């Protein structure tokens, strides 16, 4: 029986993680969970899975649910509550599925506590990859990727020597606007941007998919997860989302991981590794799919990917600022305060003027993050 803590239990990855647990109660037990402000859903989850600890975003939500919790469930809230649920329990594995850089400190706390990390929070490695990977190594902690692309790469690398790898390629669907030209994007709506053709995801990551910022974040994440130089990380547009990513080896062989676009597959693989058990996701029928399509990444059409690569190569706080500016800009777009293309304009303005700290401490990362957020929010 593997005991699990879920950070971000009411989000897209969190709810799908709980669905995997729901179908395999003989294998998994939810030890702790952290949620945001969705009081009704977190109460439903707590009553179903009976964790020992639960945390919510703030005191207001905590007060609303306090008297409705089952006996014996400890309640926490805020940043301290998130860390409590991440580190101070008997769970073997922590699924970090909160959105944004808020997941950094809780992930570091879980690493210090010796928990295996199921990493579904891109921003943790994007903002502080050098710190996270170093601390994971020091504490003998495994970082298990949950993103479909990184899970695919992880599976394709199994049993192979690092020096045998020529390159890795992350595939991307192209997002909601993959068939639109740039001149058609100036006045697209929030609803159109949230209409992803393949995946069911949260609002923030769906917008990141539409701008392809998510692919840029994934490149940076892959650099840290697989110790791979940026020049050996490629991106390929693949509209069907059947091949989730692949590895090319020095002898010319290519190993790809394929499957239907269902996040329960990489989530479950992270939970059961190195074993595999039955999954509720439908099987892939290649005869029914019939054709797969691919096209080169166009860095002019999707400049956010180029910005992310440039920040990754620059290193230090460059990636922190890229991520912070993007988070703020996406939030403003979802509020209707700016247009779709303003997202990349704000990000470009922020990274262009940033003075990079090459090897930042956690405090310097937090300072750069906070300053970038404040300045990005002030851009008209």
- pLDDT digits 0-9 by tens, 131-173: 999 999 999 999 999 999 999 999 999 999 999 999 999 999 9
Domains and CATH numbers, the chain: 2-145 (3.40.50.720), 159-261+282-314 (no CATH)
CA torsion, ordered 46, 49, 54, 59, to nearest 10 deg: -10
Would the annotation count 12 as a binding residue?
yes
Percent of all residues in the chain with a pLDDT value above 90, rounded to a whole number: 90
Would the annotation count 121 as a binding residue?
yes
Would the annotation count 37 as a binding residue?
yes
Would the annotation count 214 as a binding residue?
yes
Which pLDDT does position 201 carry in this prediction? 73
Contacts of 32 (CB under 8 A, 6+ apart): 5, 6, 51, 52, 53, 54, 55, 85, 89, 91
3-state helix, strand, coil in the chain (%, to 5): 50, 15, 35
Would the annotation count 209 as a binding residue?
yes
Rounded mean pLDDT of the chain?
95
Would the annotation count 173 as a binding residue?
yes
pLDDT in tens, the chain (380 residues): 999 999 999 999 999 999 999 999 999 999 999 999 999 999 999 999 999 999 999 999 999 999 999 999 999 999 999 999 999 889 999 999 987 667 899 999 999 999 999 999 888 999 999 999 999 999 999 999 999 999 999 999 999 999 999 999 999 999 889 999 998 999 999 999 998 777 667 788 899 999 999 999 999 999 999 999 999 999 999 999 999 999 999 999 999 999 999 999 999 999 999 999 999 889 999 999 999 999 999 999 999 999 999 999 999 999 999 999 999 999 999 999 999 999 999 999 999 999 999 999 999 999 999 999 999 999 97
Q: For residue 349, give the 3-state DSSP assignment.
A: helix
Would the annotation count 218 as a binding residue?
yes
Would the annotation count 11 as a binding residue?
yes
Query: pLDDT for 45-102, tens place per residue?
Result: 999 999 999 999 999 999 999 999 999 999 999 999 999 999 988 999 999 998 766 7
Beta-carbon neighbour count of residue 44 at 10 Å?
12
DSSP string, 38-73: -HHHHHHHHHHH--SEEEESSHHHHHHHGGGSPTT-
Would the annotation count 55 as a binding residue?
no
Would the annotation count 103 as a binding residue?
no
Stated pTM of the model: 0.94
Would the annotation count 13 as a binding residue?
yes
Would the annotation count 215 as a binding residue?
yes
């Amino acid at each position: 029986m593997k005991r699990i803590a879920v950070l971000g239990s009411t989000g897209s990855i969190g709810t799908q993680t709980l669905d995997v647990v729901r179908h395999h109660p003989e294998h998994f037990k939810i030890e702790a969970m952290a949620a945001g402000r969705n009081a009704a859903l977190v109460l439903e989850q707590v009553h179903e899975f009976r964790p020992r600890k639960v945390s919510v975003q703030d005191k207001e939500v905590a007060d609303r649910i306090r008297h409705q919790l089952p006996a014996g469930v400890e309640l926490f809230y805020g940043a301290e509550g998130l860390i409590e649920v991440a580190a101070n329990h008997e769970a073997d594995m922590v699924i970090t599925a909160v959105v944004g850089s808020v997941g950094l400190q809780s992930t570091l706390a879980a690493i210090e506590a010796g928990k295996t990390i199921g990493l579904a929070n891109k921003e943790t490695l994007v903002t502080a990859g050098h710190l996270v990977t170093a601390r994971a190594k020091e504490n003998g902690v495994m970082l298990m990727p949950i993103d479909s692309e990184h899970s695919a790469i992880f599976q394709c690398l199994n049993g192979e020597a690092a020096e045998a790898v020529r390159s890795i390629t992350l595939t991307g669907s192209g997002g909601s606007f993959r068939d639109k030209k740039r001149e058609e994007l100036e006045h697209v709506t929030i609803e159109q941007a949230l209409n992803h053709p393949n995946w069911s995801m949260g609002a923030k990551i769906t917008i990141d998919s539409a701008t392809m910022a998510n692919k840029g974040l994934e490149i940076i994440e892959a650099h840290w997860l697989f110790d791979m130089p940026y020049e050996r990380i490629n991106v390929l547009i693949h509209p069907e989302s059947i091949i989730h990513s692949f590895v090319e080896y020095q002898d010319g062989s290519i190993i790809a991981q394929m499957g239907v676009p269902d996040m329960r597959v990489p989530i479950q693989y992270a939970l059961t590794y190195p074993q595999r058990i039955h999954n509720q996701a439908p099987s892939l029928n290649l005869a029914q799919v019939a054709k797969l399509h691919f096209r080169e990444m166009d860095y002019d059409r999707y400049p956010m990917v180029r910005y992310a690569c440039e920040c990754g190569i620059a290193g230090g706080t460059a990636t922190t600022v890229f991520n912070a500016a993007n988070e703020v800009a996406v939030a403003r777009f979802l509020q209707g305060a700016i247009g779709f293309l303003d997202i990349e304009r704000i990000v470009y303005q922020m990274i262009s003027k940033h003075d990079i700290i090459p090897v930042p401490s956690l405090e310097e990362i937090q300072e750069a993050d906070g300053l970038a957020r404040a300045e990005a929010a002030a851009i008209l």
